[in-house]
Amino acid sequence: MTATGRTLPVRDPKETEQQVHAYSSRVLDALGVAGRLGHSDYTQPVDGGPHGADVYAVTHFWQLDAVPAADHAGAVRRVRQYALNLGWRLLVDRADVPGAPEVRARGDADGFTVHVVGIGTDDRIGIDVTSPYCRIPPTTG
């Protein structure tokens, strides 16, 4: 249990990484634009803070390069619609902001989040998908 009284799910980090990857793949489909996969990185920071050393979250940060700025708003709106279709809550909804459309959404049922932002000056769309905080399963033996 956390300091806020929440019980964290117990999940194997590899399983969580696979779930994050599955959401990333569906977000790529929802974007509906052609581009070149740029930087892509998974992180599994161990919190070690108030939640305890066995707590982690997985983030997959990636970007699509060579996506014309004119295509960003439509791509971000499609991800917004994808999130809404899943029943997710919009935390940031600036899909129609010229030059920097952005959406951040969270699935209240599973705690995963997706964040998509168009970076018009670089013809790039940045994406990150993050798991909720999870607890590493105890070792048996």
pLDDT digits (tens, 9 = 90+) for 24-40: 999 999 999 999 988 78
pTM comes to: 0.85
Cα gap 10→97, rounded to integer Å: 38
Which domain, by its residues, includes 117? 13-135
Residue 2 within any structural domain of the chain: no
User: How many separate domains does the chain show?
Assistant: 1
**Residue 6 forms part of a structural domain:** no
90 contacts 114 by C-beta, under 8 angstroms: no
Confidence of residue 99 (pLDDT cuts 50, 70, 90): confident
pLDDT at 87: 96
Dist. CA 8–CA 91, nearest whole Å: 21
Does 8 fall in a domain? no
Helix axes 72-85 and 13-31, enclosed angle (nearest 10): 130
Asked, for residue 7, whether it belongs to a domain, the answer is no
Residue 27 lies in a domain: yes
H/E segment holding residue 2: none
Higher pLDDT, 50 or 140: 50
| Residue 140 scores a pLDDT above 50 | no
Q: State the average pLDDT for the chain.
A: 86
Percentage of the chain beyond pLDDT 70 is 87
Which of 28-42, 43-57, 59-73, 76-90 bottoms out in mean pLDDT, i.e. has the lowest? Answer: 43-57
Query: Residue 141's pLDDT is what?
Result: 44
The predicted structure's pLDDT at residue 49: 52
CATH of the domain at 75: 3.30.310
Q: Is residue 21 part of a domain?
A: yes
Number of Cβ atoms within 10 Å of the Cβ of 28: 16
In a domain, 51, yes or no: yes
> Is residue 115 domain-resident?
yes
